[in-house]
Structure 1
């Protein structure tokens, strides 16, 4: 006699797969659900286009549990091109709108452009994933190593992006500023900031050399901003005059030379300080102010010295040469040396 419990177990039907597990399995087999939906819509109409889509869909490769066909790649490239074009156009349009906004200054407009552009591209990526119906769980095999590689590779890029946003938010450095940046090796670079990009700052020197300095370097290195709170810059010009000169007269000439230069400001006025008594003569320092350091500093110093040179020549003042005073002791040996140089002999010698 058979066991009734055994008959009940044998007769019980096997558990049917749940709807959730079936949907997950289908999603894993079809990583681009959007492409399959578009294929079904095209093939339902029949004709040549339907046959072409079927042919492209049959050319496929199996990646793990997922199937990737040529048709999937065509749809992927099409959607990618469409999303990129729309995002690029929207970014350009938003930039034009923000540039025409009168309530924002240049720094605020630039910051708003970057934030809006970042938001547009983020939305574009999410929309592209949603349109394609990409199942991200199909990429879990590669997500760990790939994400780690992307993280290390883009570490500096994201660091420079955040540094650029911080620089624009606190307005410590903005386009149009004249700065001197000193790197870790002690080398200084002087120039004007043309633009602040996502990755780097464009710095143009007086030689029209354009340096692309990573935004992060401006956060960690010493930066001298010549136009942070005011564009007025004081220039010091050292000058040496002979000891025989009239101090009041040469000070007047130095002030006249400074005032004759167009770029030198009348207020604050130029000043002259007596600095020290040097070996060559009396050392002075001319202080002048300019309001356009982006046009150069060394050329102003050169123009003032040229004007002073002409005034000194006109007033009969010579440029002091290096000189030393020698005190010679009067000794018998020194007299013999002097007489020998003169070609005479001492009366005491035979």
Structure 2
């Protein structure tokens, strides 16, 4: 017994040190897009530790069984560490595939707890020696399926194989997407398109392989193909059109992540391009989910399609007695000192038109980063222009309106009102 306890302690310590060494070695000296690999390996270390411990315990059991007649403690420890590895692997896949902004939803957290409970219950039944009875019961229970019957064990095996293969396909698709998005030498839209296509291919292959493993004839998919065609004809045109439009946008590179666009009444920065919709994030942080069909069939204003520079405009009305020959160059120099305003092309100031109240001046300036707040630049420019006008003594005319009463009866009413006020 002491040999078995010592072997388990050594396996746990050795497995922990091996996992830590592998994690630290992979994480050192990684820069650029390889940081994604480093982050993934740090997460995978949670799986690596119980896997290595289970493998070491299994190897030690094979060795000690030749020298010791009783290795019951190792037989108990092996399924415990193996079940821990299974639980960690399932949690890792769920977090990699379904995590949203690094957090799992309440439903997935509940599923994790139920899955862990089922695994530990299975381990307890195995250690209690009840596995043979349970397997015999599952094999003996028949479920009617068409003209034939299948056992409950076969049905459970089919469901588990389909779920596992789909999870692996989704995990591989997520890893492929992270790898492609880290490649700086490729256009953003092309990277997203390749990631979406690769993920779709992996899912299709996983579904076909799982159906074949279960024993379902693949010719049955022709029935689903016919049903899909009927569905497209009856009401799925919009959904199919959005998916096709998504691939069109990605392949023709008309939009890219980071572009500032306006479509219909929605505007903002392209935060994410999915196969069915595109997410626009405005300056105030709100996100708009725009169907891809709108981006293909409608007019789109892309302020950063060929050039990210954006022109900002502000207007000011000055008095008719203002010396514009002296004021306009000073306004230009004032706008040059505003943060984020480009020096080339230089700011501009000119007389736009004559108004009844005064001279309308237009001041234009260019910025390189329109995805940031435009109001901040305009506010600073307006404050500097206001300070300049005050320093130069420029008058800002107020709108005046003269009201004349053409009907003589109004004069009589006004005289009566004045008489009443005097009393």
TM-score, L = length of structure 1: 0.70
The match for 1:109 among 191, 197, 209 is 191
The match for 2:276 among 199, 212, 220 is 199
Partner of 1:212: 289
What is the CA–CA distance in structure 2 between the aligned matches of 1:321 and 1:106, rounded to whole Å?
51
Instruction: After TM superposition, give the deviation of residue 217 of structure 1 in Å.
Output: 1.9
Partner of 1:229: 306
Partner of 1:276: 353
Structure 1 residues 239, 142: CA separation in 2 closer, same or farther (over 3 Å shift)?
closer
Partner of 2:164: 82
Say which is worse superposed, 155-164 or 233-242, in terms of deviation: 155-164
What is the CA–CA distance in structure 2 between the aligned matches of 1:245 and 1:154, rounded to whole Å?
65
Instruction: After TM superposition, give the deviation of residue 94 of structure 1 in Å.
Output: 2.2
| Number of equivalences | 280
3-state SS, counterpart of residue 85 of structure 1? helix
Instruction: After TM superposition, give the deviation of residue 92 of structure 1 in Å.
Output: 2.8
Matched, 1:120 2:213: no
What is the CA–CA distance in structure 2 between the aligned matches of 1:304 and 1:175, rounded to whole Å?
29
* C-alpha contact (below 8 Å) 1:253/1:308 kept by paired residues: no
The match for 2:369 among 279, 292, 295 is 292
Runs of 4+ in 1 over 4 A off after TM superposition: 47-54, 136-147, 149-155, 324-327
What is the CA–CA distance in structure 2 between the aligned matches of 1:217 and 1:149, rounded to whole Å?
22
Say which is worse superposed, 309-318 or 96-105, in terms of deviation: 96-105
TM-score, L = length of structure 2: 0.59
Partner of 2:340: 263
Query: What's the C-alpha RMSD, in Å, of the aligned pairs?
Result: 3.2
The match for 2:256 among 169, 174, 181 is 174
Give 1:319-330 correspondences, 5 Å limit.
Answer: 319-323=396-400
Structure 1 residues 285, 138: CA separation in 2 closer, same or farther (over 3 Å shift)?
closer
Give 1:61-100 correspondences, 5 Å limit.
Answer: 61-100=143-182
The match for 2:331 among 254, 258, 261 is 254
Structure 2 residue runs of 5 or longer lacking an equivalent are 1-128, 405-410, 412-417, 419-423
Matched, 1:310 2:387: yes
- Kindly name which structure, 1 or 2, has the bigger radius of gyration based on alpha carbons: 1
Structure 1 residue runs of 5 or longer lacking an equivalent are 1-46, 183-187, 328-333, 335-340, 342-350
* C-alpha contact (below 8 Å) 1:66/1:138 kept by paired residues: no
Instruction: After TM superposition, give the deviation of residue 87 of structure 1 in Å.
Output: 0.8
Instruction: After TM superposition, give the deviation of residue 120 of structure 1 in Å.
Output: 0.9
What is the CA–CA distance in structure 2 between the aligned matches of 1:293 and 1:142, rounded to whole Å?
48
- Return the structure number with greater helix share: 2
Which structure would you say has the larger RCO, counting Cα contacts within 8 Å and 6 or more residues apart?
A: 1
